[in-house]
Amino acid sequence: MNPLHKLEAFKLDVLKEVGNIGAGNAATALSRLLDKPVDMNVPTVSLIPFEKVADRVGGFEQVVIAVFLRVEGDAPGNMFFLIEESSARKLLRGLLSMETSSEDGYSEMEYSALAEIGNILAGSYLSSLADFTQLYLSPTVPAIAIDMAGAILSYGLVQYGEMGDSALLIDTTFLEGREEMAGHFFLIPDPESFEKIFSALGVPNE
């Protein structure tokens, strides 16, 4: 049995708060970039079977833009910022006043703008998390891909694959104005990282 099944409600709440703080800072950063209010949903923390992870973003074959970075340091894990294509175009228009070139494909400039947005958001998520937990967390250079959500997310589940068929992830959705911007943050700490996060936050280990 996956040891994560044993996480009690209290610990899940702690992880939710961790997600809340990180994503809150990322939402503030995004709001500054766009010069518009950006809201976010309360993060969900759940142990999800691999098969269901991609459902969060519209299914395995849903095409998404993903910025991925590996978190190294005291509590390693994987981090994804995912947005749907329509939201990406909205972002580019809002941010750069770019009339997006074509419906199929992105210019070099648009591509690197999206990578940079992901970079800024992931960076602000992570640094607030590091401040809060006093853990040393260092992100790798982010990589960007436009592809099927299943192919992208499964890449972040490999560490879990060795111990079960589900992963614990912290998921936050962003909303811009009334419209759902359909931006998702997934933080997938490595299985070994949970104890470190809990002990950094003073949660007793029984």
Q: What is the rounded CA–CA span in Å between residue 171 and residue 81? A: 10
- Does residue 113 interact with other proteins by CB under 8 A? no
Helices (H), 58-192: 85-96, 108-133, 149-154, 158-161
- Does residue 163 interact with other proteins by CB under 8 A? yes
Query: Is residue 2 classed as helix, strand or coil in its secondary structure?
Result: coil
- Does residue 162 interact with other proteins by CB under 8 A? yes
141 half-sphere exposure, CB direction, 13 A CA radius = 0
Number of residues that bind other proteins (CB under 8 A): 32
Task: Decide if 72 contacts 141 (C-beta within 8 A).
Answer: no
Query: Is residue 178 classed as helix, strand or coil in its secondary structure?
Result: coil
Residue (145 or 203) nearer to other proteins, CB: 145
Among the listed residues 7, 17, 60, 123, the single contact to other proteins using CB under 8 A: 60
Among the listed residues 36, 37, 42, 51, the single contact to other proteins using CB under 8 A: 51
Per-residue mark of binding to other proteins, 1-20 (x: CB under 8 A) = xx------------------
- Does residue 149 interact with other proteins by CB under 8 A? yes
Burial 12-23, CB ≥16 within 10 A → b, else e = bebbbebbbbbb
Q: Which residues in this chain contact other proteins in the complex, by CB under 8 A? A: 1-2, 50-51, 54, 60-61, 63, 68, 70, 72, 76, 140-141, 143, 145-152, 154-155, 158-159, 161-165
